[in-house]
């Protein structure tokens, strides 16, 4: 009996793992397609930090590469910044096992940052500027046409709120951009992927994760607070993060207030109905598309509420 139950549990776990892998592959495939991230003949430099996100990105891209209708090559690149205790052998061992092309770049940015940034000040700003410059240079050296970064949907939403709360800007992280030196195209293939899916996937795939606190830098408190806020919303209002992300893909410049995006000054009346017109004096009705998970939660809550009222 026990062995039957065990077999059932294993079959269920495998079914769920396959479903998750499929969901992530679809999400990455859709993002690549929607934003034209990878084209025929591209050489994609996958930036591998040793964290869950970059391992997942590499894994999914390698899997998509096998079935893609176009040919593209992948080279994994890790930057060893010489933080004390960085386990140098983990990534080469992993990548050798995969049998893919890779390069480990050794640059002691850790010492530079420690020397230049005063004690007690955050080191992340300078550290990431140095890392970015090195990765751009390496992209040129290895002949990469695209640089792939492992930011996912939740990173994008966090950035949106951080910019609104602290930067006074409606700005998130784009799926594809030209680098600040103008010479590289950066892509974010995980942009449609939920962080919780990536966490689960990296557990299932047992990636050899390298801890990200080796430099001893304090975590970015503002980002942590915003991340907690989003996770809390996700628990309490299922579907909210999906809706917010959809909003980023569905922007109405005529209903914001940036004169650089919309010609407010040149607005004129016209004889025919105006497609972007407003009902001006009323609040616009909000069309809600409530996801199935949310509907289930709402109906459970409704029933509880009704029971409470009846008792
Ligand atoms: S946490 Fe450490 S390694 Fe990461 S960006 Fe900050 S200083 Fe650099």
Whether the pLDDT of residue 295 is over 80: the answer is no
And the tokens for 177?
């951009």
pLDDT of 307 over the 50 cut: no
Which helix or strand (DSSP H or E) is residue 33 part of? helix 2-34
pTM: 0.87
Q: What are the chain's domains?
A: 14-218 (3.40.50.620)
Backbone angles phi, psi at 115, to 5 degrees: -75, -40
Residues with CB under 6 A from ligand 1: 123-124, 127-128, 215, 217
Question: 180 pLDDT exceeds 90?
Answer: no
pLDDT band at residue 215 under the 50/70/90 scheme: confident
CB crowding 278-301: b at 16 or more within 10 Å, else e: eeeeeeeeeeeeeeeebeebeeee
Q: Which of 200-209, 229-238, 289-298 has the lowest mean pLDDT?
A: 289-298
Is 249 annotated for ligand binding?
no
Q: Which of 84, 114, 128 to mutate to test the pocket of ligand 1 (most atoms within 8 A of CB)?
A: 128
In angstroms, what is the span from residue 164 Cα to ligand 1's centroid? 23
């Amino acid at each position: 009996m026990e062995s039957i139950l065990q077999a059932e549990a294993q079959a269920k776990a495998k079914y769920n793992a396959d479903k998750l892998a499929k969901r992530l592959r679809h999400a990455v495939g859709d993002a690549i397609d929607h934003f034209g991230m990878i084209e025929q003949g591209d050489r994609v430099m996958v930036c591998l930090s040793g964290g869950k996100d970059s391992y997942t990105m590499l894994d999914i891209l390698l899997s998509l590469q096998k079935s893609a209708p176009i040919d593209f090559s992948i080279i994994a690149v890790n930057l060893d910044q010489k933080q004390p205790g960085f386990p140098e052998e983990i990534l080469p061992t992993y990548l050798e096992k995969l049998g893919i092309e890779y390069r480990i770049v050794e640059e002691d940015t850790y010492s530079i940052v420690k020397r230049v940034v005063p004690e007690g000040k955050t080191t992340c700003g300078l550290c990431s500027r140095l890392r970015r410059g090195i990765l751009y240079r390496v992209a040129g050296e290895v002949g990469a046409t695209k640089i792939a970064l492992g930011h996912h949907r939740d990173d994008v939403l966090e950035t949106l709120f951080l910019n609104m709360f602290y930067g006074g800007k409606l700005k998130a992280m784009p799926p594809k951009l030209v680098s600040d030196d103008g010479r590289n195209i950066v892509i974010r293939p995980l942009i449609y992927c939920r962080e919780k899916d990536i966490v689960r996937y990296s557990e299932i795939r047992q990636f050899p994760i390298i801890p990200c606190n080796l430099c001893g830098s304090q975590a970015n408190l503002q980002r942590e607070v915003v991340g907690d806020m989003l996770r809390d919303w996700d628990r309490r209002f299922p579907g909210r993060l999906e809706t917010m992300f959809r909003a980023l893909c569905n922007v109405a410049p005529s209903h914001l207030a940036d004169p650089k995006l919309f010609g407010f000054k040149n607005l004129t009346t016209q004889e025919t109905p105006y497609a972007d017109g407003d009902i001006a004096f009323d609040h616009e009705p909000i069309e809600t598309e409530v996801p199935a998970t949310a509907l289930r939660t709402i109906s459970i809550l409704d029933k509880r509420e009704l029971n409470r009222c009846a008792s």
